[in-house]
Amino acid sequence: MAMRQVIDAFELLDSALIDGPAVAEFLHGQGAENIRVERMTSEKHHTDFMQVRIPGRNKAAPVLGIIGKLGGIGARPAQVGMVSDADGAIAAVAAAAKLATMAAKGDRLEGDVIISTHICPAAPTRPHQPVPFMSAPVDRVKLGRAELHADMSAVLSIDTSRGNRVVNHKGIAITPTVRQGYILPVSRDLTDILEIVTAEPAVVMPLSTQDITPYANNLYHINSILQPSVYTDKPVVGVAVTARVAVPGSATGATQLDDIEKSVRFSIEVAKNLGRGICAFHDEAEFDRLQALYGSMQHLQTAGKAIP
């Protein structure tokens, strides 16, 4: 159970004054040692990017990346308080705290886990249907590339995904695996873990081709959950925090801590099994055959051709 860490992360981040160094200090207190904080700025906004590495026992074991994806934890001054979009950051901070606590108690995982997110209590918003989106406080490409690490063997991207009428389910859902421009079959290993963690049938969030392309092409995207797949050649799976109704990412009072806790617990269970070599995000041999038959789809990881 990671509810204590989720509550602590929520209370820590629910502040107009919170910043990356304060979150790093909190995580140091939980036993995390390898923490990187970098302030990123734009003309009107800034955010503190964070990356935490929790070492495993076996340096040769696969490394899981956990990305807390979001625009911002707050939309000040337009909104007062924590916004719905903050789920990714809460989950990432809670996961880092829980893994650090586990390691301090002797339960170090087999492989390393690298957790990335950013802390922005005053992010902008932008229009979107059916509900407004939180926007990025800094350049999306710079932030997207920073979230990844060359050592990551596979990536989970945790993102609030309640601003749609596609997944009418309160809880969490996973996406099909995405790699190098291909939307691959849903991982059976991941659905097994999801069902164990939630005690419910696995829910899968559907994807379109647009969803796995960069935001820079200005096409419709369900949200930013699969943007990490644009910047890596490793397999990426979205972990969506979902609702039965459409909830704006910029709404306050909408945080569901029990659902965030499920996303944290799911991510940790995936990390355990990935490091032990018993959790596959996709069939590697079939992926190789798919590419041999149909060629590369990596052009979908670019902004595409210029239209006259």
Q: What is the pLDDT of residue 125?
A: 84
Q: What is the pLDDT of residue 282?
A: 98
The contacts of residue 185 (CB under 8 Å, 6+ apart) are 176, 177, 282, 283
Q: What is the pLDDT of residue 307?
A: 66
The rounded average pLDDT for each run of 10 residues, N- to C-terminus, in the chain (308 residues) is: 97 98 98 97 93 97 98 92 96 98 97 98 82 83 96 98 94 98 98 98 97 93 96 98 94 97 98 98 98 97 82
Q: What is the pLDDT of residue 126?
A: 78
Q: What's 204's DSSP letter? A: B
The contacts of residue 245 (CB under 8 Å, 6+ apart) are 162, 168
Q: What is the pLDDT of residue 135?
A: 86
Torsion angles phi and psi, residue 233, rounded to 5: -100, 5
Q: What is the pLDDT of residue 171?
A: 98
Any bridge partners for residue 160, and if so which? Answer: 241
pTM strictly above 0.85 = yes
